[in-house]
Structure 1
Amino acid sequence: MRASILILLVILTLATGSENVWAGEITLSTQCPASFEKQAGHCKLRSIYTDYASLQSAGVGGLKTGLPPLREGFSAEQMDLGRYLFFDPILSGNGKQSCASCHSPDKGFSDGRPRSIGASGQETTRNAPSLWNVGFLTKFFWDGRATSLEAQMKGPLYSTIEMASSPEKILANLNGNKEYRRLFALAYADTNVKNAEAKNASATSINIEQVYHAIAAFETTLISLNSRYDLYAHGVPDALTKPELEGLNVFRSFVARCAECHTPPLFTNQQIVVIGTPEAAGRSFDPGAGAISHDPNLRGGFKVPSLRNVELTAPYMHSGRFATLRDVVSFYNEGRGHAVPKNETLHLHWHIHEPKLSNAELDRLVDFLKTLTDESFKPQRPSVVPSGLPLMLNK
């Protein structure tokens, strides 16, 4: 009899939707994430780079070049709420995908595929970019069409070939979940009355801007600035091996010119450049930023990606065309425009030439790129999410 009652309760729970699909009470962290300190109720980044006077925008980026501003102003609770939302399939149209499905912490916040798989099982059009250090960026998507974290996340959330949801569906799901209503009330209540209002949080309505804000808050915590390269940059001379130092010298040389686009310390200058990288076999030419701006000079142009944790984010390029870092550096070494389709006339970036690096120099470049790996502040994946839905893990 007892077993029958339990089975009936399970059936009723599944039938009533998200209101009763509840994993139990979740507590939002009141502590700022690693590398952040609390100031006036908000979490502020602390890094040696923030103490350097020169900014990345001032030049090529020396070893002690400072960082551009980080998007800040978030509380610890908002960051932690965003973490739960990031991993929760409740945001997708089919309840089976989360942000982490295409941006897995275990794959450098990418997904290990040439192109991601969306809600319908259809392949998306481009490779999933890493989210490490995304809070420093001012351009988003491969074609640079978004200028804020909030604007960026609307793309995958509402694309029919990605998460295939809508603002109305997201709000219905979240407001229909008592745990999320409580958590949003905690994260967005006035600090002085937060605890007093928590008991009545179930009556609070969630708005879509809070959803975007919370996810953006979490994304700004994805800081990777403690690699072995960073130790070397901050004055630890033996942090890099001799082959890695040789690779750094090639990277910064006026022959290879890698650092002029992949500018330290973020290892991107965030510019749109045309390099003539090939598409995958059988795929049509991707006009990139040219399709957004309608500027013929930007046809085939894409945003310079950061190289932080690049060792973890294969395959590479907007199309996922190259399987290894060695393939990538070889592409740059094979000559200006060698992979441009014959029916395309592209305005290639002037840095794209023919450096004629030796095989040993290419190997040293790869050695150096691997020194940019740092996952010391990788966030904890929640064991359960407020919706009670199964975590869709991409390992």
Structure 2
Amino acid sequence: MNKRDILLKSSIVGLLFAFAMFFLWPDNPTALGDILSENPDAGFSLNKSCPPGFKLNGENECISQNLYLQYDSPNNKGLGGLQTGLPELREGFSPQEIDLGRLLFFDPVLSGNGTMSCATCHQPDKGFSDGMATGIGNGDLKLTRATPTLWNVGYLRKLFWDGRSDSLEQQIEGPLFAKEEMNNTPENLLKTINEIETYKILFAETFPQKDNPEIELDEIYTAITAFQSSLISLNSKYDKYAHGYHNALSSKEKEGMNIFRSFVARCAECHTPPLFTNQEFAIIGSPEPEGLPLDPGAQIPKNDSTLRGAFKVPSLRNIEKTAPYMHSGNFGTLRETVEFYTKGRGHAVPKGENLLIHWHIWEPDLSDYELDRLVDFLKTLTDESFTPKIPEKVPSGLKPSV
């Protein structure tokens, strides 16, 4: 019997719990996040319970619990109906791995000079982005692309705007060891973290089967991956509507949803529910900031000229929180962003570039009213009810950075 069958045939208590999560729990990130918090007066004690949205099984693994598990179409093919299943999640991590990853995520000790953490760019109150057009790296260096959200990242098959990483573990190495970002080295990271006795105790608790008392790189990657995979956002107004509570959306929001899913606007053909991404690459011809050359995107890591200007279709989950928009952060508002798609196919492509614009990008000629309704709908995808607790302190003794 597969996992979905087990979940679907589980007790009615489990199903009632799932409904309670979606319809009865208050949208109070701090209260829910406290489930993950450490006791600051008693030092560091890793959580032995799964975060909200997960259930602990007999193997000390946290398994996702959500109403989308009851649907039978998990591959996001075509437009996708409202009751469409999710792709496979990176799950099965222990509560200790997730909580240790949380501490590491907010600890500046991971950077070369101890001033940046993962949360410096992926800030919880900004949709796990940073609110800037492009990220800021080591030494206040302005980076070339916007910081993507981490909500629901455990469902994604490709990471980074250009899709150059196939796993979260591989993705983590990028910013850690890039000179323009956290500017660390594997050797320095291991030396630094192995000198922190608290971390050695926590890693030993998290990985009890290990023989080597020294903290290893793979363990660091696993813990951060576990935490990132626990960042689930599936309890928005849209989700409540999709699961049958049709009063969750206002009339204008429903109008926006119908425009979004229509064969005129065609938004849902790339931003396919319930993740609101089809996880494919698309060349849409969005403009670069004035004076900057075209970003070749996926052409470089894929070594494929047909992907020049292609970027991974981003999820629209919590999109209200992650302005500015596009890979270059060139649009400051959702209204500007949706308007881009109705201004004409390839209208912003620089002279001399012959990009293979995605066939879904055309000239829908949407009215101002329709664009406003699209924005109304996009805001219904906001859900931060499972935002984790920001630690008040971290094992390095440095100030947690966000």
Equivalent-residue separation in structure 2 for 1:292 and 1:54 (angstroms): 31
Q: Does residue 30 of the first structure (1) align with residue 48 of the second (2)? A: yes
The amino acid across from 2:219 in the alignment is Q
TM-score by length of 2: 0.88
Summarize the alignment of residues 1-395 of structure 1 with structure 2, pairs less than 5 Å apart.
25-39=43-57, 40-190=59-209, 204-393=213-402
Q: Which runs of 5+ in 2 are unaligned?
A: 1-39
Equivalent-residue separation in structure 1 for 2:229 and 2:325 (angstroms): 23
Contact 1:23 1:384 (C-alpha < 8 Å) held by counterparts: no
Instruction: Identify the range of structure 1 (283-292 vs 55-64) with the bigger mean alpha-carbon deviation.
Output: 55-64
The amino acid across from 1:367 in the alignment is D
The amino acid across from 1:328 in the alignment is T
Equivalent-residue separation in structure 2 for 1:147 and 1:235 (angstroms): 35
Contact 1:23 1:385 (C-alpha < 8 Å) held by counterparts: no
Equivalent-residue separation in structure 2 for 1:184 and 1:65 (angstroms): 38
Contact 1:118 1:161 (C-alpha < 8 Å) held by counterparts: yes
Aligned residue pair count: 362
- 2:341 counterpart SS class: helix
Deviations 1:7-49 (A, max 9, x none): xxxxxxxxxxxxxxx9973000000000100012100000000
Quote the offset at 1:58 in angstroms: 3.2
- 1:343 counterpart SS class: coil
Contact 2:116 2:401 (C-alpha < 8 Å) held by counterparts: yes
**Coordinate RMSD, CA, aligned:** 1.5
The amino acid across from 1:370 in the alignment is K
Contact 2:76 2:84 (C-alpha < 8 Å) held by counterparts: no
- 1:90 counterpart SS class: helix
Equivalent-residue separation in structure 1 for 2:378 and 2:369 (angstroms): 14
- 1:364 counterpart SS class: helix
Q: Which runs of 5+ in 1 are unaligned?
A: 1-21, 198-202
Deviations 1:179-227 (A, max 9, x none): 000000000004xxx9xx9xxxxx9210000000000000011000000
Deviations 1:220-245 (A, max 9, x none): 11000000000000000110000000
Deviations 1:239-291 (A, max 9, x none): 00000000000000000000000000000001011000000112221000011
Equivalent-residue separation in structure 2 for 1:232 and 1:369 (angstroms): 14
Q: Which has the greater radius of gyration?
A: 1
- 1:44 counterpart SS class: strand
Quote the offset at 1:294 in angstroms: 2.2
Instruction: Identify the range of structure 1 (212-221 vs 24-33) with the bigger mean alpha-carbon deviation.
Output: 24-33
Quote the offset at 1:56 in angstroms: 3.5
Quote the offset at 1:57 in angstroms: 2.8
Equivalent-residue separation in structure 1 for 2:305 and 2:62 (angstroms): 43
- 1:368 counterpart SS class: helix
Equivalent-residue separation in structure 1 for 2:390 and 2:116 (angstroms): 15
The amino acid across from 1:130 in the alignment is T
Equivalent-residue separation in structure 2 for 1:61 and 1:215 (angstroms): 31
Equivalent-residue separation in structure 1 for 2:265 and 2:75 (angstroms): 20
Contact 2:268 2:276 (C-alpha < 8 Å) held by counterparts: yes
The amino acid across from 1:304 in the alignment is V
Runs ≥4 residues deviating over 3 A: none
Equivalent-residue separation in structure 2 for 1:325 and 1:206 (angstroms): 44
Equivalent-residue separation in structure 2 for 1:357 and 1:178 (angstroms): 60
Quote the offset at 1:347 in angstroms: 0.3
Instruction: Identify the range of structure 1 (282-291 vs 100-109) with the bigger mean alpha-carbon deviation.
Output: 282-291
TM-score by length of 1: 0.90
Deviations 1:29-85 (A, max 9, x none): 000000100012100000000111112433321110000010012100000000000
Equivalent-residue separation in structure 1 for 2:42 and 2:385 (angstroms): 29
- 2:392 counterpart SS class: coil
Equivalent-residue separation in structure 1 for 2:42 and 2:125 (angstroms): 26
Equivalent-residue separation in structure 2 for 1:128 and 1:134 (angstroms): 13
- 2:256 counterpart SS class: helix
1:7 aligns with none
Equivalent-residue separation in structure 1 for 2:270 and 2:128 (angstroms): 22
The amino acid across from 1:131 in the alignment is L
The amino acid across from 2:295 in the alignment is D
